[in-house]
Chain A
Amino acid sequence: DFKRKENIDKWPKSHIDVKFKERRVKANAWDYNDRFSYADNRIKTSKYNIFTFLPINLFEQFQRVANAYFSVLLILQLIPEISSLSWFTTIVPLVFVLVITAVKDATDDYFRYKSDQQVNNRQSQVLIRGSLQNEKWMNVRVGDIIKLENNQFVAADILLLCSSEPYGLCYVETAELDGETNLKVRQALTVTSDLGDISKLMDFDGEVICEPPNNKLDRFTGTLYWKGNKYPLDNEKMLLRGCVLRNTEWCFGMVIFAGSQTKLMQNCGRTKLKRTSIDKLMNTLVLWIFAFLICMGVVLAIGHTIWETYVGTNFRVFLPWDTFQISAVFSGFLTFWSYIIILNTVVPISLYVSVEVLRLGHSYFINWDRKMYHSPMGTAAEARTTTLNEELGQVEFIFSDKTGTLTQNIMVFSKCSINGQMYGMDRLKKKTACVDFSFNPLCDRRFKFFDSSLVEAIKMEDPAVQEFFRLLALCHTVMPEEKSEGNLVYQAQSPDEGALVTAARNFGFVFRARTPETVTLCEMGRTVTYQLLAILDFNNVRKRMSVIVRSPEGQIKLYSKGADTIIFERLDPSSENLMYTTSEHLSEFAGEGLRTLALAYKDLDEDYFKVWMKRLLFASTVIENREDQLAVLYDEIELGMKLLGATAIEDKLQEGVPETIACLNLADIKIWVLTGDKLETAMNIGYSCNMLRDDMNEVFVISGHSLQDVAKEHILGLSRVSSAGHVEKTDAFADDSVFEEAIIAEYALVINGHSLAHVLEPQLEHILLDLACLCKTVICCRVTPMQKAQVVELVKRHKRAVTLAIGDGANDVSMIKTAHIGVGISGQEGMQAVLASDYSFAQFRYLQRLLLVHGRWSYFRMCNFLGYFFYKNFAFTLVHFWYGFFCGFSAQTVYDQWFITLFNIVYTSLPVLAMGLFDQDVNDQNSLRYPSLYKPGQQNLLFNKRQFFLCTLQGMATSFLLFFIPYGAFPLMVKEDGSPFSDQQAFAVTIATSLVIVVSVQIGLDTHYWTAVNHLFIWGSLMVYFAILFAMQSDGLFGIFPSSFPFIGTARNCLSEKSVWLVVLLTTVVCVMPGLVVRFLRVDLFPTLTDKVRRLQQSRKKQGPQEQNLRRVRRTSSRRSAYAFSHQQGFGELITSGKNIRRSTVSSLCSPERIAQSHSSSWIENMLKRKNEVSCASPESEGGAPKSVKGTVCMDPTDQAQF
């Protein structure tokens, strides 16, 4: 345990590069900087060049155990006293393998080189000798002053000196570095911010002394020495390589780190190689085979010693011992090595290459799958790691991020309940026409609502409805931006708010402008300005926010929105009836997984308010307990409110998420949601994607803050689950149907980040794991990226299960890297997750296809492949073992040496590759339709040690028969012309032919899916075998190399004999028959699900395709609060203080020049932009792809240029 803890502790520290040197860089002083020989700006991710490729690549390849092993064999073969095989039997396959690997490495490296070249040749403007000159990136040097323009990549890590914006501000997008798509602001030192012309920059001779290169992206310490002054430098003044300059016309900077010393390059260390469990198993098996090989060698060597002692000594009349052969024991020792050489093919050199080829093929199939191609984004699925495919068929745990992975992070105003009347259509039957908002010139055309009765009500001027939307238009912290008349853009702190304000806008209560003291609405075409008296801000305890406004008529009103449970407590008794109706509606919303808020208002008395306001002002100036005092005051005024209704917002799930989750659940895959979101939000999503259900026995919520609390809650939960589960489990055993198992007690666990921190302590982690594994659903909320990784690590360590992590943002990177398989959702939030992932695609629902189809197939294919491969090699090689007993254990081979050379790489490689690439037991539709087909992979059933034993046993039996049937037939065999052909060469050809035919028949039986390629390869291999056989034993080749082709004429003489063919036929039938019987009995008596589905599939194929009816996921509902609001505290104050109010907003209709400068406002705006996803895009961009460009659209300079 101690060691484990240490490992976790080490995790974050590993980033710290400990070098206590400093770096000195002087601007415009190459001579000075050259003395330190800093890295130049050329990057090189390629490993080789033309000259170093061969030595380096070979060196790397021979570091692999397999290749080293074969070179050792090769050396053994060069010793004539040992050599039982010619050198070419090993060197041909070895060279073949080396060449294939080298070609692959070379192409990979070439592409790396190309991309390096492309980056190195990018142009940048460098200040050289008083003028700006275009230079390639690779020629940029430390100390250079370079100019960057808008939307350019930053060429190196540079110190920002000045920019086109006031105060030396500039904006960068850091998506490449940390995955965050929001813009970040960087500000130059005030002393350098006015250097904006070339002559001044030429004279700039500041010297920067800073930290040495390291990989901390968010930290920089340094000092600028200029004109005798010292200026401290931090990360806010640096532009890092990989960033993109945005919304800034130009800026100048001084290069501090270049090329490989930039923070970006320092961060891309070598990625850890992930290995699959099959890989590990394979390595174990190969070791076992080595052991077996050595055992066989020892047995045969002992046999040889005995033989030489009792027979060989006497036979020296005709076969004298070699001069060095001192004794029978020494001879046995040499024979051991000889046998190691000839039996080496039990560990086939082509195994590793074939496995790599298969995985590569499977990866390509993933890349090519149109059903995982997301056309709106134009992103295809991508297998970024090609070595993990079969593990996709064994996944037991999925760890999923929420935002951007399960949800689209789009909030949609979907329903509402106003004054006891419910509006809005069920989102599952959106057949009714979308409401026409044409009466409203200021509407957002992307907003859709499906109940026209609400518009009717608005037009009828129903006061409750009007008040409802007035509240939505007033009670919020959204910032409006009106770029041109009627072209409103909202910047909301949370997408929920954006959705609500946009809804109000469309229903005729347009929030148009705000100042610190006023809010201007356009109510049904009439401009009304409210005085904003106070904002009672949101926080997580209050779970509500209110505003107090004075209408033009002078009425003071308090508008409040918040969690239903909170609001209902503070209602005026007069609202009681309405509360019950609304409550019913709320539970209906909750049942649909919508996020709800209750709305209420209160008329305030002028005098009462004045008194309250004074107390508020006083309270806001005290220093001690200010928060508490404010809270008390807020509580006081927010009492006795009148209920208006409730809103229901749909947190839009990604397409097909509930179905995917349901399907994966059926495949026994446990899905854990790990999210940084709040408890309520996370639970809500849990309900909307059907992971949490109201019919679950119990949902444990663990949110204790101290270790004791958490432990207590945990143990309590565990005891309840295990007691209940115990009873029901025995029930389930009584009735062994698969169906029953699904109905046994269902529990869910929701755990908070704080609690998680405690639970991940060593003494509790087992309890957590036990409890979590008993639960059907686990949701962890408010977790940090580190905790995500720790949870994954925990399961990975204790459960021996394959884990998969899926996420889209930079905060998921750690978990993606930790899990066995990391999946990145591409195109949502930068590339960081994708870059760290093993597989990437655009939509969560593709996970279903990736696992249930591609993963399952890959696993199935790989297992079949390995089983067959071991079988084949044992059948091939062990014949030598049996022959040993009849040739004086002299390591005489049975086969022709050429046959040994070519058997694995020519005669039998292609059919097994074709099987490994194309085989399908069940087609993709049925794989998806019967998720239970996935279970054998999780239980590791298709290839494990037992299967391996069976395969090798079958191989041994085959080799035994292959040898002993000809052995029985041969001694007396005579050709039709009377000449005997019981000679060694005819024997070799007969056995070799039988072997090739037997393994071909066997692969025919193993192939479930005979495509044209399989036919071609299997029949082709047989034909190639005969073609090569006759060619190798032809007169011509013998004429040229008599000593290399001594088998001349054997094939002709041998295969023209009927009796040889009778032997071959007999051998084939005897070898294949037992396996066939076993297989038939298994399929017939104990059919697996796969067999059943296959049979069904075949009978259905005859009937023609059938429509697949997917069950709709229906939810039952019960009363629970569906409140969820992704809001944070603190914006109310900013608004009332006016700090973030922009010039352009204050006078929204004034001159265009001023609007054009609008982007140079404070950083808060940028934060707002990130938060806001719905209302941010301007109406003009509607035709394009507003989703993909997200927050940056409103900042895009081309948009601004239009005005």
Chain B
Amino acid sequence: MMASSYNAKEEDGHHSGASSGTGVSKNKKPDNTAFKQQRLPAWQPILTAGSVLPAFFVIGLIFIPIGIGLYVTSNNIKEFEIDYTGVSSDSPCYNCAKNFTWNTTEPCVCTVNFTLHQPFESNVFMYYGLSNFYQNHRRYVKSRDDRQLNGDLSALTDPSKECEPYRKSGDVSIAPCGAIANSLFNDTLVLYYVDSNNSISEIPLVKKGIAWWTDKHVKFRNPAGNGNLTLAFKDTAKPVNWAKPVYELDPLDPENNGFINEDFIVWMRTAALPTFRKLYRIIQKKSGATPTLPNGNYMLNITYNYPVLSFDGRKRLILSTISWMGGKNPFLGIAYITVGSICFCLGVVLLIIHHKYDNRNTSADIPS
């Protein structure tokens, strides 16, 4: 950049060039390699009607069937959704929502009745959905300590600063720390089937197998403590909003307790968008021909612990079957059909344009 114009090498080069023979100069001839002479063999694609138009048709012809397939599959999925937030006064949970206080000992329970008009075959997945809940807020997202959740003992007693203000409770560090853990969804949902003679039977809900395998087995680990979680967490406090400490999330099943509680893991995988659903329970298909959820009346028993009304949030229960492409998702099918059709139409339009205006002779009008 700031080179000086004087260069002793050149001074010398000039001298030798002027007086010495051709022996030196021979070496200066550049190599005759394809690379140095910029003659590397190369493929030189050109956008011609012959290559572009077929591409459009092919895309169209591939996308439209995919789209139709997706759309049909998505439509075949049965899904039932019910909002139990309790905003309107005729909602069963109106009172619970209205009279919510943080430190009650007596949980408020409400019951929502609903009817399934179609039977749900195969496994049914039970989700809770939250709206207007900003799990993707930067301060929220970073408010966790993965080392602590991974069972790191030092992080257990001294969590990361990112967890503030849910890092310590008094002098005792919180486990699990941070805003995410603190806001763990803690409604309890129980589903009952009301059969034709009004007898009520509880539907068995499977609570394991709802988290990703990697999360459950690699990312989340309980701190070592000779198998006794109470001991392992003895120097820590429970998160502020929690009613019970982490080692009592599922006292009956040590494989689902503490940090590796699957409800907890599912919650900790923060959603991308403010409206989201998370898997709550799985209703396994019973053997035999009976549908998993036959049509008829159901009763949803909610232990209403989780306040969302204050920020205008919503809580929903979703029951859904799934297919090869996952859950009910009309967007992809429609998008594929649309894009495929547009491609196909564009192909046609371009073909017409190309033929109508194709009056060039490729080489005739090139001035040389």
Chain A residues in the interface with B (C-beta under 8 A): 43, 45, 47, 80, 84, 108, 111-112, 114-116, 118-119, 151, 153, 175-176, 242, 244, 264-265, 267-271, 273, 311, 314-315, 317-320, 322-323, 338, 365, 367-371, 373, 375, 377-380, 738-739, 827, 830-831, 834-836, 857, 886-888, 890-892, 918, 920, 924, 929-930, 932, 965, 967-988, 1008-1014, 1035, 1038-1039, 1042-1043, 1046, 1048-1049, 1052-1053, 1057-1059, 1062-1063, 1066, 1069-1070, 1073, 1076-1077, 1079-1081, 1083-1085, 1087, 1089, 1091-1099, 1184-1185, 1188-1189
Contacts and interface: CB of A to CB of B under 8 A. Distances in A.
B212 A979 contact: yes
B47 A322 contact: no
B59 interface: yes
Contacts of B127: 980
Q: Taking each of A980, A982, A1081, which has the highest tally of chain B beta carbons within 10 Å of its own beta carbon?
A: A980
Interface string B229-270: 000000000000000000000000000000000000010011
B305 interface: no
B29 A370 contact: yes
A-B interface, 8 closest residue pairs, ranked by CB to CB distance from nearest: A378-B25, A1049-B214, A974-B327, A268-B6, A987-B272, A368-B36, A314-B311, A890-B138
Consensus secondary structure, chain A interface: helix
B160 interface: yes
Interface string B297-340: 00000000001001110000000101011111101100110010
B363 A930 contact: no
A406 to B, nearest CB: 23
Contacts of B2: 47, 270-271, 273
Contacts of A970: 272-273
Contacts of B209: 977
A1128 B135 CA distance: 92
B169 interface: no
23 contacts: A242-B11, A311-B134, A314-B311, A318-B183, A369-B36, A378-B25, A834-B10, A887-B136, A888-B134, A892-B137, A969-B332, A971-B275, A972-B328, A976-B326, A979-B211, A1009-B44, A1052-B214, A1053-B212, A1057-B326, A1063-B332, A1079-B47, A1098-B44, A1185-B22
A318 B12 contact: no
B158 interface: no
Contacts of B273: 886, 967, 970-971, 982, 987
A377 B327 contact: no
Contacts of A834: 10
Contacts of A739: 367
A1038 B219 contact: yes
B343 interface: yes
A1035 B219 CA distance: 8
Given A84-B138, A1043-B147, A1048-B219, A1070 B339 contact: yes
Nearest to A1008: B44
B141 A984 contact: yes
Given A983-B272, A984-B272, A1087 B219 contact: no
B214 A831 contact: no
Given A365-B36, A1077-B350, A886 B136 contact: yes
Contacts of B43: 1009-1010
A965 to B, nearest CB: 7
A1089 B366 contact: yes
A1059 B353 contact: no
A377 B215 CA distance: 72
B271 A984 contact: yes
A360 to B, nearest CB: 13
A1083 B133 CA distance: 50
Nearest to A176: B11
A1062 B325 CA distance: 10
B140 interface: yes
A319 B139 contact: yes
A1094 B46 contact: yes
Contact of A1084 (B49, B146, B272): B49
A1023 to B, nearest CB: 20
B25 A1013 contact: no
Nearest to A45: B4
B107 interface: no
Nearest to B26: A378
B311 A315 contact: yes
Contact of B336 (A311, A835, A1062): A1062
Contacts of A983: 269-272, 276
Nearest to A1007: B45
Nearest to B343: A1073
A930 B366 contact: yes
B164 interface: yes
A115 B14 CA distance: 14
A1094 B134 CA distance: 54
A918 B32 CA distance: 17
Interface string B155-183: 00000110011000000000000010011
B311 to A, nearest CB: 4
Given A738-B367, A1049-B215, A1043 B336 contact: no
B42 A1010 contact: yes
Contacts of A857: 38
A319 B343 contact: no
A596 B173 CA distance: 104
Contacts of B165: 320, 322-323
A367 B331 contact: no
A374 to B, nearest CB: 10
A862 to B, nearest CB: 15
A1066 B335 contact: yes
A116 B8 contact: yes
Contacts of A45: 4, 6-8
B134 A887 contact: yes
A983 B302 CA distance: 25
A982 B12 CA distance: 70
Contacts of A886: 136, 273-274
B274 A1069 contact: no
A310 to B, nearest CB: 10
B198 interface: no
Contacts of B29: 370, 373, 375, 378, 380
A264 B256 CA distance: 84
A118 B12 contact: yes
A1013 B324 CA distance: 40
B205 interface: no
Contacts of A924: 38
Q: Taking each of B134, B152, B320, which has the highest tally of chain A beta carbons within 10 Å of its own beta carbon?
A: B134
Q: Taking each of B59, B218, B326, which has the highest tally of chain A beta carbons within 10 Å of its own beta carbon?
A: B326
B9 A1011 contact: no
